[in-house]
Structure 1
Amino acid sequence: MKISLTQKYNVPGPRYTSYPTVPYWNETAFTVGEWKTSFQKAFAESNSKNGISLYIHLPFCESMCTFCGCNKRITKNHSVEEKYIQALLKEWSLYCKQLPEKPFIKEIHLGGGTPTFFSTNNLEHLINGIFSFANKAENHEFSFEGHPNNTTYEQLKKLYDLGFRRVSFGVQDYSEKVQKAINRIQPFHNVAKVTFWAKEIGYKSIGHDIIFGLPFQTLDDVVDTVEKTNSLKPDRLAFYSYAHVPWIKGNGQRGFNDENLPKDAEKRQLYEIGKQLLSTNGYNEIGMDHFALSSDSLFHAAHNKKMHRNFMGYSASKTQLMIGLGVSSISDSWYGFAQNTKNLEDYYQLLEWDQLPVVKGHILTDEDLIIRKHILNLTCELETSWSKDSLYFKELPQVLMDLKEIENDQLIVIEEDKIKITEAGRPFVRNICMAFDLHLKRKSPETNLFSMTV
């Protein structure tokens, strides 16, 4: 019996928001002192040219969504807001004390958790506090994630007035049965309301996040969700595979049984039909799992090969230094990664001691930097080349040998000094990246680490 390409290549694998991936960071050799040297070097190289990025993690949610793999704290007690914002501003001040001049901020992204858990006044206090130590870069792009059930007109208007022009709303799926399984009850009316508000206020890029492969999700559910999405015409979409990792996230992803999840060809059909409907309605597929109208900045960045990918996802602009603020946040200097503690109480304690709350990280080797560039090329441009000597590495011949079967399946084209991913190969970008992942090749995981690639 012949197996499908989906069955063949649907294996556990990284999502490649970084390279090396977090499980392969060399934590024993990492020190906070090295991280300081790393981000200071990146700041000196980039601040005056492109500015820097900030990712700010706002972890509080009023209820647990069982599909979610993010670091969060469930509470209905909104008195937690002020202490957390004070801690964020303290952390930011500790970073700014390490810098020789005021940073220019090119990008801000408020993620979570639920950023719109926070009141309008507290969000304003946070952003104004950030810019008491910094300047806004030219052509800055500030964005945030909004929960359709609790995002208010006042929040949208205030953040717009503070310079935000992008907002993304988590939709996931409109089926009541699916929503009940993932504990995310969210009527279409709420999504439509906040989307229209954002358009009325003047946001330039409104995004919706949709997930395929959710428990009890059927083809009719995906068609209905995409058709409702098309009726609201967001500027860009993330349409991605549900990452089922209950061994990492504990009870947070055990609100349903494994047999309730669509598998292999059935799951892939959900994506292909959704993709076809989106294409019919003017959306262009970009990188992995993303779609945008031709008027959106992400489409132009992809078309001009200027799109970037990091822990914040795909971006229309690139900064060398991204500082992550807040519990569990990850920072990226290009030369190194640093992650804050995931424990909220420890986060507060380290800041009280005037210490950066960084607890682990990785300083990239010369080899890491080469492979990182190849993986970024593949995930952003769907091709990579080693025509420059600086992108050649000694294991490349073996990598090309390992890719022969993927080439035989017509998922890539291997040229003399280049690899191009074909249209048929788009669903398997992560598998192609895995062939370049030297850390993964040298030490296969002995336990479950990653979700399935397809």
Structure 2
Amino acid sequence: MNTSLIQKYNIPGPRYTSYPTVPFWDEAKFSKEKWLKTFKASFEESNSEQGISLYIHLPFCESLCTFCACHKHITKRHSMEDIYIETVLKEWHLYVELMSSKPIIKEIHLGGGTPTFFSSDNLSKLINGLLEPSELHNDYEFSFEGHPNNTTKEHLQTLYNLGFTRVSFGIQDYDETVQKAIHRIQSFEQVQKVTEWSRSIGYTSISHDLIFGLPFQNIETMTESINKTKRLRPDRISFYSYAHVPWVKGVGQRGFNEDDLPKGDEKRALYETGKQLLTGLGYEEIGMDHFALKTDHLYTAIINKTLHRNFMGYTANTTQLMIGLGMSAISDSWYGFAQNVKTVKEYEAIVTSKEIPIFRGHILTDEDLVIRQHILNIMCHLGTSWSDESLKFSKLNTVLEALKEAEKDGLILVDKNALKVYEEAKPFIRNICMGFDLRLHESRPETQVFSMTI
């Protein structure tokens, strides 16, 4: 890849799991009442056909990984599990009471934190409690994130019996020096064991998460990690750029010296090496950061143009309404976003008082909705169009003017009514979306808010 373009476009930018992105939510105009109004409208529009998605945030971890930017609660006290599960189910029932009919669940994802911190019995109690007042969509899909060190065969079998067919294991890197630096020590043998258990039980989509840009990584360690991944051949691979955002997470991302991080051309070479190795193994690049075998649903979604993106990343399931349950979870009604409070203690107290525990959010304007669709189109389908009058907006010419440099640099092709991103320009997709991001343009933050795009 052209080194000068990498240097030119490697600037701070959003990952666009939403639009507007969280730092530019208009919290002053948000209220819980407004959010619930959008929630009810979205439920009425989409439940009977699409169904809804549930994201459950299970925040507990026994130890802190120093690369992690997630909201988590570090503890070894497993006695906290019971009341947390009970609280999540109470929150779910607060939403169910607002629904005009039975919710039809199309998607459940357990994220964290570490979902497999919880016992099999508690996970079973959680899922059965979610399903009790609900119906299942004909094409439902359940998935969870598993830590290789504490995911047991009982976890896998229990969740499979409850309808889970997808599991994602956080690997990050196999090199011992890198693992020590990020405080995430797990052997290849352990990853192999949980992967093979999953296959033997019947999971149809197994994913491994790898990260490039971690401290002490180099071409040799990256190559070795992917060669080990090759032996297990997961159905999907998430190949993320390490987002170094210590101003957001503080000491949790300061477990190593800044000089230990690969930067610039060195970091980009890690991605190019990883991509070349993965595509050589038969993985297809999906949007940004994701790779899948042609037998996986994520690849099918690309072919069928049904790929979707939300706060969970890329998904083969499109739902208009996603309800986030648990501490810090974010809900998306398409017309609005709402985030729960960020501490376990406050979350449990508010839900116990029979209140939905939202503390901030954003209600999308008509312009936001149009911009959101364009950014979603670019992130999922490498292009967008405004030939339909409903996708035109007042500042379209301003956006296209801002993207002329990207067109000049050979990243995009723009004609009268459409924009196309060239295949080889995928690494710059966040930069291209930034051209449409009117909230970012208007705010012009003076301090760094996002990780680097490349």
Q: TM-score range by the shorter chain?
A: over 0.9
For structure 1, which segment, 394-403 or 265-274, has the greater mean C-alpha deviation from structure 2 after superposition? 394-403
Alignment of 1:161 onto 2:161 = yes
Cα shift at 1:423 = 2.1
Are the aligned partners of 1:142 and 1:165 in contact in 2 as well (CA < 8 Å)? yes
Q: Residue 139 of structure 1 aligns to which amino acid in structure 2?
A: D
Deviations 1:245-300 (A, max 9, x none): 00000111000121111111111110111111111110000100100000000000
Residue matched to 1:9: 9
Residue matched to 1:337: 337
Residue matched to 2:424: 424
- In 1, Cα distance between equivalents of 2:40 and 2:399: 34
2:372 alignment partner, SS class: helix
- In 2, Cα distance between equivalents of 1:120 and 1:395: 52
Residue matched to 1:63: 63
Are the aligned partners of 1:12 and 1:452 in contact in 2 as well (CA < 8 Å)? yes
Structure-1-length-normalised TM-score: 0.99
Are the aligned partners of 1:410 and 1:424 in contact in 2 as well (CA < 8 Å)? no
Cα shift at 1:83 = 0.6
Residue matched to 2:448: 448
Cα shift at 1:448 = 2.1
- In 2, Cα distance between equivalents of 1:420 and 1:71: 36
- In 2, Cα distance between equivalents of 1:402 and 1:94: 45
1:13 alignment partner, SS class: coil
Q: Residue 13 of structure 1 aligns to which amino acid in structure 2?
A: G
Alignment of 1:127 onto 2:127 = yes
Alignment of 1:293 onto 2:293 = yes
Residue matched to 1:26: 26
Are the aligned partners of 1:157 and 1:201 in contact in 2 as well (CA < 8 Å)? yes
Are the aligned partners of 2:14 and 2:21 in contact in 1 as well (CA < 8 Å)? yes
Are the aligned partners of 2:3 and 2:265 in contact in 1 as well (CA < 8 Å)? no
Distance 1:3 1:202, change over 3 A: closer
1:237 alignment partner, SS class: strand
Are the aligned partners of 1:105 and 1:137 in contact in 2 as well (CA < 8 Å)? yes
Cα shift at 1:394 = 1.6
Residue matched to 1:375: 375
Deviations 1:337-370 (A, max 9, x none): 0000001111011112110000000010000000
Q: Residue 249 of structure 1 aligns to which amino acid in structure 2?
A: K
Are the aligned partners of 2:59 and 2:113 in contact in 1 as well (CA < 8 Å)? yes
1:339 alignment partner, SS class: strand
- In 2, Cα distance between equivalents of 1:424 and 1:443: 30
Cα shift at 1:414 = 1.2
Identity rate, percent: 61
Deviations 1:350-396 (A, max 9, x none): 11211000000001000000000000001000111111111111211
Cα shift at 1:3 = 6.0
Deviations 1:300-341 (A, max 9, x none): 001111000000111101011000000000000000000000
Residue matched to 1:399: 399
Q: Residue 165 of structure 2 aligns to which amino acid in structure 1?
A: R
Residue matched to 2:347: 347
- In 2, Cα distance between equivalents of 1:23 and 1:281: 38
Are the aligned partners of 2:62 and 2:75 in contact in 1 as well (CA < 8 Å)? yes
Deviations 1:156-179 (A, max 9, x none): 001000000000000000010000
Q: Residue 311 of structure 2 aligns to which amino acid in structure 1?
A: F
1:314 alignment partner, SS class: strand
Q: Residue 425 of structure 1 aligns to which amino acid in structure 2?
A: A
Deviations 1:182-235 (A, max 9, x none): 000011011110000000011010000000000111111111111111110100
Q: CA RMSD in A?
A: 0.9
**Structure 1 stretches lacking a partner, 5+ long:** none
- In 1, Cα distance between equivalents of 2:270 and 2:411: 20
What is the 5 A alignment of 1:70-89?
70-89=70-89
